[in-house]
Structure formats: structure tokens, C-alpha cells
A and B are shown apart, each in its own frame.
Chain A
Amino acid sequence: MDSSIAQKTWELENNILTVEKPDPSSDSIFYYDEAAQAKFQQEKPWANDHHYFKRVKISALALLKMVVHARSGGTIEVMGLMQGKTDGDAIIVMDAFALPVEGTETRVNAQADAYEYMVDYSQTNKQAGRLENVVGWYHSHPGYGCWLSGIDVSTQMLNQQFQEPFLAVVIDPTRTVSAGKVEIGAFRTYPEGYKPTDDPISEYQTIPLNKIEDFGVHCKQYYPLDITYFKSSLDCHLLDLLWNKYWVNTLSSSPLLGNGDYVAGQISDLAEKLEQAENQLAHSRIGPLGPPRKKEESQLAKITRDSAKITVEQVHGLMSQVIKDILFNSVRQSNRSHNEQSGPEPMVEA
């Protein structure tokens, strides 16, 4: 009985909102109302309020496609477009498709044949019943976090001038696999010269040293949007049933193996940051106690957080390994004496 109490405590602590199971009537989100969309386009409520769009709803399909595409690129950045519609202050992403462009650091924009591809694809889609318009673009930052680089910011500013409403989404497939949860961020830029009145609290993420300058210069020029996901009732049903076949993969996944070099990269990056921090701390003098500053963490505190994050991920991976070892290899342990029960007890209920 403790497990149910534990679960309730955990849910309470983390403000888990139980999402009601979508029933067929709530699949209305899939309906594309052309006239309402056109009317919204004309009204342009976002023209006056730079902070108009606050939320993003991504469909299960779009998320899956984007993550799979991003991961298939490996360490190369990939990009694609998202199709969807708007709904008040939320942008709804129904589908996504990949673009055949190679991502490099100096790429400013998609080339000409990507435009052609976009037009062709949109046309064929409309015929096949996908009526939504392009509502944003996504690209991947493999291994270095979800934020907009300088080039990304200028691209998005351009998009927001001419193709409104437009959204920028960044996915990090490497961190997704390493952390076991989807690393995704949705952003909109402020127009040139606009200073946000309040400082939005953004979730801290670790940025590698070689990118940290690019991040810092531009991080005030855009704001993140909340992301929620939705799926249809049929999706729900299928995903539930999918679990019957899927549990094998969950058990057999080995994150330690898959992400070895990424973790090594992270640790070496952390070592460099540590050296920098050492220089900074050695030379600082303790001045008079000024007014209490904002929570500007010192370098060292940030490094501590990063190292804790890496460790937690590693420990998770190791736990999976140990559990698998106990489950499938412990036949030999039972042959030895029962005194040396070294590992944790298996979680199987009797």
C-alpha cells in the first residue's frame, strides 16, 4: 500500500496534472477550419504584442518525426518545417517534414532547391488532405542544447517579419538519448531593438564552452514558449497497445553504450570551464558588501550543477545495467552462497 501513497506524494510534489484521456469528440483539434484561420491571419493580433504567442502544442506525430529526423542526422545539424495552425495565443503544430539541406555553421538560410522542395511538398500534402500551412521551422543542435544561435536569431527575425505566424523549434537528439527525456525548445524572437520588460526565467542548461559566447550575446533577443503535447484518441489507444510489445526495448536499452563519446565530450568541456573558473576566482577581490545581487551564480556553482547532471545521467545508465545483470545473469549468483547478495534487490513483486 505504500506505493500508492508514495505515488500520490510524488504527484503532488511535481504538480502532475492528470490529462484526461482524449475521447473522440476532443479530436476536434485535428479539424482544420480554413475560414477561421484566414480571418486570424488578417487580424494579425501579434503585430502589436511582441509577446503574443505564449504556448505551443505539438502533436505526437510531429514530435516523433522531428526527433527521429534529428537523431538520424547524427552530429550534423538538420532542419525541417512544421505545419499547423494557430489558436488564440497558442501555436499548434500538427505535422513536420524534413528538408534536404545540409546544416553547417555558416549556413544562413535554406538554399533554392530547398524552397522548391517546400513548395512541392506543401502542394502534394494539400492534395492528400493535409490542409495546414507552414507555421514554423525546426532544426537540431546535436549535443549542445536548445537555444538559438546568432544565425538562428537573424533567420527567425526575418521569418517573423515576412511569414508570420512563425515559430522556431530546436531539438537536441544527443541530449535526449543521454538524459532519457526529450530535449526540445520553442522560441520566438523579439523585433530589433525591443527590450523585454521583465526577465523571463529560463531553465538553466549547460552550454559547451565554444558556443557559450554565441549563446550569451543573443539570449535576450528571444523568449521561450511553453510546450505541451497532444495526441488523438486513436493514438492513445495504439500507444497503449504498443507498450505490450515495447517493454522489451525499454529493458534492453543501454544509454551508457550509446552516448559514450558525448559524455566524454561533456566532461572535457567541464574540465576547461573549471580551469577558467579557477582563474576567475583566484583574481577576484572581495569588495565591500554591495546590494544583494540577482542570482548570478558564480562559475563554480554552474560547474557543480553541470557535473551533477552528468553524474545523474551516468548513474541512471549504470542502474539499468546492474538491473539487467541481476535479472539475466544472477543464475550463477544463486549457485554461490546466499551471503554475498551484493547488488540491490530486484524490483519484481512476489
Chain B
Amino acid sequence: MASSSSSGLTFKLHPLVIVNISDHYTRVKSQMNPPPVTSTSATVNGVEPLQQAPRVYGCVIGVQRGRTVEIFNSFELLYDPSTHSLDRPFLEKKQELYKKVFPHFYILGWYSTGSDAQESDMHIHKALMDINESPLYVLLNPTINPAQKDLPVTIYESELHVIDGIPQLIFVRSSYTIETVEAERISVDHVAHLKPSDGGSAATQLAAHLTGIHSAIKMLNSRIRVLHHHLVGMQKGDVPCENSLLRQVSSLLRRLPAIESEKFQDDFLMEYNDTLLITYLAMFTNCSSTMNELVDKFNTAYDRHSRRGGRTAFI
């Protein structure tokens, strides 16, 4: 069912959507399985056996600009098990509400949890086609697998393929990138690593900032090493020579140095100088403040305006 998409659209996913879906799933799951240790409340319906992981459904919204589809946000939807479709009036109500606050976002598709796309999903998918001709299906796999290296999120599109002479819609997998704005990145970082939230000393802030960059560079380094290892293998002949990969690597390398022009150098140095100027001014302010305090203390210690006159020794 899943082959590679050929629509040529690029997908950008915001982390907010991922956290949204995860929260929805956790909520529903935890409401279905009440925690064993509760206070003496009347709603404890005995100990129920751990139920099957529920599937949750919802809608994803965002913006489509040309060939780029950017998914910003999502909200929950109700699933009607009798008709195997999503509750339509509910969807429209929610859509209205979200339009008021985020007027630029359109419905781009829907999401669900599970390990793989299923036949019944196509039914829901088709139902959404009147809102958006080519909706997306975002699937999140909620099983926690510590060995997993990749995000368990897949985006499917639907394509009309001719199978056995009958044109059918099937799901095809598409690739996506994670896109973010600065504020989102900082809050995700904050929650992910639970950094010290208060000001702390300047040393703490510096350490936090540099640690972030250090981790990012470590990642970059490890990725480059993997690539390097692969290329060395290719050179030795262990790995079959792949020309397209070689072309990509070559184009990547040719992009370095990233910018090299007189204008860039000038602007860069100007920015550098501006920052140094700010540091200089701050230093100045600091020095003048210290001087001021010193003069105050001096005047207090050797007070010439007191009645006794002359110097009073400061004991």
C-alpha cells in the first residue's frame, strides 16, 4: 500500500502537531484506564483490564503555498464507529472556531494513531476529499520503542493508481521535514531538556547556550562521519558505487564555503563590532556604577559635613 509519493509536494511539519497528537492519545488512553492509586472517589469502576490502545482521530490544519505544504496545528475530532466516519458537524464547528483565531489556516487533512495505515482509513480519507481535494493523512505510532531512531510519524497522500484495471485510491508515503519558528524551538528545547528556568548566573546561561550548540554540532559531526564512512567503503569497493549519492555529496561539498564575498565580510565584521561596542558600553556603565559606589562610601567614611568637623575615623 505504501510506496513512494510522486506528487512533488514538500511537507513541513511543526512539532506542535506532534505534541498535540501525543497529548490527545495519552489523554484518551489514561481516561480509559484509570490509574490504580486513586483517592476514595466514587468514580473508580473497579480495576479494569488494560484495554487495547485506542485510536484517536483529529484534523490537521495549516497553509499551502504553491508546492509547499506547512502543517501548523491540529485539533481533535470525533469518530463515529457505527458509520466508520468522522463526525461531520463537529468538524465544521471546530473549523469555525479555529478560523476565528487563526484565519490563515486551512484544513489540510487528518491524523490518527496506529502502527500502519489501514483499509478503513481510506473511507475517512475520501470523506474529507470534499473539503480538500488531496488531503493528507498523518499517522503517529504511539508504541514506545527505545530502539527506534526515527520519528514514528508518517505522512501519507492518496493517489489514483490503476490496479487490476480498476482505478483505486491508495495511500502513498511522503517524506517531510520538521519546520519550526524560533519561539517554538526554544519552548520545545526547554521542555525536552528541562533546563534551569530561572536566570541563574551568567555562567549558567552561557553553559546552557553553548551546550545546545555543542549538541547540534555533535550531531552534524556524527552525520558527516556516517557519510564519510560510506564513501570510504565505496572507494574500497565494499559498497556498490551509487552515482546519484556521489552527485549529491559533491554538490553538498561545493556549497562550502557558504558565503564568500566582500559584502558579507563587511556586514559580518560590522555586526561583530556592534556587539563589541555594546559590551564596551556595558563595561563603562558597570565601571561608572562601581565608581559611584566607591565615592559614596568614601564620602560616608570621611564625612566632611558633620558637626564635629574634620575627619571622623570609620571604626
A36–B210 touching, CB < 8 Å: no
Q: With an 8 A cutoff between CB atoms, is A112 at the interface?
A: no
Partner of A129 from the list B28, B202, B292 (CB cut-off 8 Å) is B28
When the two chains form their complex, are residues A233 and B144 in contact, meaning their CB atoms are under 8 A apart?
Answer: yes
Q: Please name all residues of chain B whose beta carbon is closer than 8 Å to the beta carbon of A307 when the two chains form the complex.
A: 281-282, 285-286
**In the complex, which residues of chain B have a beta carbon less than 8 angstroms from the beta carbon of A209?**
none
Does B15 lie within 8 Å of A286, measured CB to CB? Answer: no
Which positions 275-310 of chain A face chain B at CB distance < 8 Å?
Answer: 281, 286, 288-289, 298, 300-301, 303-304, 307-308, 310
Return chain A residues, CB-CB under 8 Å to B209: 180, 316, 319
Is residue B177 within 8 Å, beta carbon to beta carbon, of the partner chain?
A: yes
CB-CB under 8 A from A30, the residues of chain B are 26-27, 30-31
B285–A27 CB distance below 8 A: no
Within the complex, what minimum Cβ distance (angstroms) separates A316 from chain B?
5
Chain A nearest CB from B276 CB (Å) reads 8
Contact with B along A209-238 (1 / 0, CB 8 A): 000000000000000000101011111011
Q: Are A232 and B22 in contact (CB under 8 A)?
A: yes
- State whether A117 touches B97 (Cβ < 8 A): yes
Q: Is B219 an interface residue (CB 8 A)?
A: yes
Kindly name the residue among A10, A13, A60, A308 whose own CB sees the greatest number of chain B CB atoms within 10 A: A60
- Chain B residues, Cβ within 8 Å of A195: none
CA–CA, A229 and B197, complex, Å = 10
Docked CA distance A43–B59 (Å):
39
Query: Which candidate, A44-52, A152-160, A246-254, is the interface stretch facing chain B?
Result: A246-254
Measured in the bound complex, the distance between the Cα atoms of B151 and A240 in whole Å is: 9
Q: Which of A60, A229, A234 has the most CB of B within 10 A?
A: A234
In contact, B192 and A239 (Cβ under 8 angstroms):
yes
Does any Cβ of B come within 8 Å of A331's Cβ? yes
Q: Considering the complex, give the chain A residue whose CB is closest to the CB of B223.
A: A247
Q: Which of B163-221 contact A (CB under 8 A)?
A: 177-178, 180-192, 194-200, 202, 204-210, 212-221
| Given A19-B194, A177-B182, A250-B185, A35 and B42 contact (CB-CB distance below 8 Å) | yes
- Interface 1/0s, chain B 279-310, versus A by CB < 8 A? 10110011011001100100110010110000
Q: Say yes or no: B185 contacts A249, CB within 8 Å.
A: yes
Chain A: minimal CB distance from B51 (Å): 14
**Docked complex Cα distance between A306 and B22 (Å):** 40
B-contact bits for A57-75, CB 8 A (1 contact / 0 none): 0011101110110110000
CB of A130 within 8 Å of the partner chain: yes
Tell me the nearest residue of chain B to A248, going by C-beta.
Answer: B216
In contact, A25 and B97 (Cβ under 8 angstroms): no
Q: Does A106 contact B (CB under 8 A)?
A: no
A-contact 0/1 string along B218-250, CB 8 Å cutoff: 111100000000000000000000000000000
User: Given A129-B27, A182-B197, A328-B258 in contact, is the A348-B217 Cβ separation under 8 Å?
Assistant: yes
A173 on the interface (CB 8 Å rule)? yes
Closest B-chain residue to A324, C-beta based?
Answer: B258
Residue B3 CB within 8 A of the other chain: no
Q: In chain B, what residue has the closest Cβ to A174?
A: B183
Contacts of B200 in A (CB 8 A): 14
B38 at the interface (CB under 8 A from A): yes
**Contact (Cβ within 8 A) A231 B76:** no
Judge whether B162 is part of the interface by a CB distance below 8 angstroms: no
Q: Name B1-45 residues within 8 Å CB distance of A.
A: 15-16, 18-20, 22-31, 34-35, 37-39, 41-43
- 8 Å CB contact of B30 from A13, A28, A64: A28
Binding site for B on A (CB under 8 A): 10, 13-14, 16, 19, 24-25, 27-28, 30-36, 39, 59-61, 63-65, 67-68, 70-71, 94-95, 97-100, 117, 120-121, 124-125, 127-131, 173, 176-177, 179-182, 203, 227, 229, 231-235, 237-251, 253, 255-256, 258, 267, 274, 281, 286, 288-289, 298, 300-301, 303-304, 307-308, 310-312, 314-323, 325, 327-332, 346-349
Known: A32-B31, A124-B93, A328-B256. 12 other contacts (CB 8 A): A31-B35, A61-B19, A121-B97, A180-B186, A181-B186, A244-B219, A256-B271, A286-B296, A311-B278, A316-B209, A318-B271, A327-B220
Which residues of B are interface residues toward A (Cβ below 8 A)? 15-16, 18-20, 22-31, 34-35, 37-39, 41-43, 56, 75-78, 90, 93-94, 97, 100-102, 142, 144, 148-152, 177-178, 180-192, 194-200, 202, 204-210, 212-221, 256-260, 268, 271-272, 275, 278-279, 281-282, 285-286, 288-289, 292-293, 296, 299-300, 303, 305-306
